[in-house]
Amino acid sequence: MANGEVIHVERSKTVVEQKAPSVASLIRADLKAAYPGVKFSVRTKTTGSIRIDWEMGPSEPAVEALLGKYVAGHFDGMTDSYVYDRSNTGPTVRFIFTSRDLGSVKEQIQRDLCKAFGVEFGPSVRIGTQFVDDMAYRAVRNADLSSGYHGVRCVDGAMEAF
């Protein structure tokens, strides 16, 4: 096969799984087009996986949705096997791992949450039964921080960053 492609045939549908470096170059182009102001680090971990890191910018779910077409399938823990998605017929790898770093803003988010709930900020602070760092993660998980962090607010009973 050309370019180190591995062909998997499942129920008369062909899945093309390419080596990670060739898929990584496609991912870099897609990320640059979708988020021109954000610097992404796209690294190949093995022949079948890619790791993507960035600071601030778009949410992890947004990046994962953009790059879903490059994932060949998913691991099924019940059967201890990898299940190929027959609808992804373009170049793919087995796994894409994403991680957004909040940098210096993480502590500010935690401070803002403490202030919103009237709790003094400190290490391992709890608000009710939850640690403030867990609340901060949930508050920013789906937030697009491309234009920066501006604060936290309560929406439908949940805290979110904006």
How far apart are alpha carbons 117 and 9 in whole angstroms? 55
Residue 110, pLDDT score: 92
Q: Can you read off the two tokens belonging to residue 85?
A: 């998605």
Q: Can you read off the two tokens belonging to residue 132?
A: 């403030």
CA-wise closest residue to 108 among 148, 76, 51, 65? 148
pLDDT cut 90: percent of the chain above it: 51
Residue 8, pLDDT score: 47
Contact 94, 85 (CB under 8 A): no
Residue 21, pLDDT score: 85
Average pLDDT value for residue range 48-67: 94
Q: What's the pTM? A: 0.77
Q: Can you read off the two tokens belonging to residue 141?
A: 């998980």
Q: How far is CA 32 from CA 2, 41, 53, 80, 107, in A?
A: 27, 11, 13, 35, 28
| pLDDT band of 28, cuts 50, 70, 90 | very high
Query: Would you say residue 141 has pLDDT above 60?
Result: yes
Contact 85, 17 (CB under 8 A): no
Domain locations along the chain: 2-101, 105-161
49-55 and 95-101 strand pairing: parallel
The CATH label, of 3.30.200, 1.10.10, 3.30.300, 3.40.50, for the domain at 2-101 is: 3.30.300
What is the strand order of the sheet 49-55 is part of? 40-46, 49-55, 95-101
Query: Would you say residue 90 has pLDDT above 90?
Result: no
Query: Would you say residue 13 has pLDDT above 90?
Result: no
Helix (H) or strand (E) holding 79, with range, is none
Average pLDDT value for residue range 126-154: 90
